[in-house]
A and B are shown apart, each in its own frame.
Chain A
Amino acid sequence: MTPDVPSVLAQLALIAGRNAAPGVPDAERASDLGLTTMLLNLAAEVWDGAAQNLVVENRALRKLLAETGEDDDLRISALTAESHRLRAQLIEAHIAAEQSGDAARQAAIWGELVASTERRKLSISLV
């Protein structure tokens, strides 16, 4: 999730505190708390599967990129940083496959990209 969940939760705590104070216009309090509710629900939804999804995805990307190794640090922040590194490399690999006309390689990359959106799909996804 971008922005990352801890920074969002910290901000939502600030917003909840701000709205607990007197003098906040009703419509602004309602808007803030309505959005806060929806965001908390999304954070709750992704919590349990976040590390697992990243480990699975990083593993799939390493296989595509012919890299070895495993995730040793299982903190979400570390797994996310590794995901970013691998996905940046995937972009380069995709460009190379397009330039060389390697259809099978392109299909494999597209397959992983489709799978990545399935892993990230929220219950309220519009697509």
Chain B
Amino acid sequence: MEHPLAPRVAAYLAAKMPAASGLTVEAMERISGGASRETYRFVARWREGGAPRERRMILRRDPPASLIDTERRIEFEAYRAFFGSAVPVPEMLFLEEDDGPLDHPFFIAAEIAGFQASPQMLFEAAGPDVLKKLAERKWTILGEIAKVDPAALGLTAVMDAPDLDACWRRELDHWEVVFDRDEAEPLPIARAAIRWLRANPPPPAQKLSVVHGDYRTGNFLYDPAGEIHGVLDWEMAHLGDPLEDLAWGFNPIWQFGRGLAGGLLPQADAVAIWRRASGLAADPAALHWWTLFNCVKGQAIWVGSAGAFIKGGNREPIMIYPAWWLLNAQDRAILKVMGKL
């Protein structure tokens, strides 16, 4: 049975690809997860220059209300900036910011097919050698992201470039607003953590970096041998302190209960890989600040998820599960990072 979106996507692509004739969209299906974007895979088939053509593609469309509110263009440009670099990402094909074609903004990308992103499948199937190799690749790629010059990639044209000593405040202000706007209950642990963060700011960033914003196990495509083929989910990408990105993966939530950074290896080993790849320093006190900040940011995201459900903007079960599963676990992560648990 044809997916209801398929003919609309086909019409859009046909208009964008004037050399193509007889364009069809087939095998369209929604990929599970995707609380911040609706994600679909499909196969586009057409004729061009008398020859049949085929390409597997991904559609990422904004939902009515999202777990994370971000601009579609920023995510698109972040992917585009890194395509063909040492940071593997899918090729961006089309960006549509108008609601007309598919009711909400979206982009279409080439699919990197045949690989997994699931942390659970990884931990069930991979042996220690594969996990070690994957960890090496994971933090090496993050180091590559950290060391690039955002201006050289053209990203300062689409992303705000804060002063080095303002990176922390910009991010903390941004996520505190989410609490103020969306929290459905008083959150004494997160609020205490925010007070601590404001009272104990980190040193200025050592450089302005591209920050992926959600770089963790589960947001890249891997193969059974431990290679990474695509870094995904750039919807929270921005410019800021490179330690922010390193520390996001050190939120205890992303240990997946395995007691290891990213569920893969001891945190000190991850930091060493990142330092080697990026050529940057990782001051322990600053890294601690950013780790606690990322626990607060995580909590803001789960609060936003619950808020979107409660306010009726998005009543899908994917909005409920993060809140039920993670709100208390994230509080415990905050307590752990603050040395209270």
Contacts and interface: CB of A to CB of B under 8 A. Distances in A.
Interface of A: 1-3, 7-8, 11-12, 14-15, 23, 25-28, 30-32, 34-36, 38-39, 42, 80, 83-84, 87-88, 90-91, 94-95, 98, 109-110, 113-114, 117, 120-122, 124-127
Nearest to B341: A114
A60 B35 CA distance: 36
Interface in B234-272: 252-253, 255-257
Interface string B173-208: 000000000001111110110010000000000000
A127 B333 contact: yes
B300 interface: no
A109 B188 CA distance: 10
Given A2-B324, A84-B185, 7 more contacts: A12-B317, A26-B29, A39-B320, A94-B191, A113-B335, A122-B325, A127-B253
Contacts of A94: 188, 191-192
Interface in B289-341: 306, 309-310, 315-318, 320-321, 323-333, 335-336, 340-341
Nearest to B253: A126
B332 to A, nearest CB: 4
B32 interface: yes
B1 interface: yes
Interface of B: 1, 3, 28-33, 184-189, 191-192, 195, 252-253, 255-257, 306, 309-310, 315-318, 320-321, 323-333, 335-336, 340-341
A18 to B, nearest CB: 11
A71 to B, nearest CB: 17
B185 A127 contact: no
B277 to A, nearest CB: 27
A87 B188 contact: yes
B32 A30 contact: yes
Contact of B317 (A15, A90, A122, A125): A15
Contacts, number: 126
A87 B188 CA distance: 7
Contacts of B184: 2-3
A91 B306 contact: no
A27 B30 contact: yes
A127 B30 contact: no
A117 B176 CA distance: 21
A117 B332 contact: yes
A121 B332 contact: yes
6 contacts: A8-B324, A27-B31, A117-B331, A122-B325, A126-B252, A126-B333
Contact of B185 (A2, A38, A114, A122): A2
Given A2-B327, A87-B186, A120-B328, A39 B256 contact: no
A126 to B, nearest CB: 5
B29 A38 contact: no
A117 B317 contact: no
A77 to B, nearest CB: 13
Contacts of B32: 27, 30-31, 34-35
Contact of A113 (B3, B189, B324, B329): B189
Contacts of B187: 87
A64 to B, nearest CB: 11
A124 B325 contact: yes
Nearest to A38: B321
Residue of B1, B28, B255, B329 with highest tally of chain A CB at under 10 A? B329
A23 to B, nearest CB: 7
Nearest to B184: A2
B1 A126 contact: no
Nearest to B325: A124
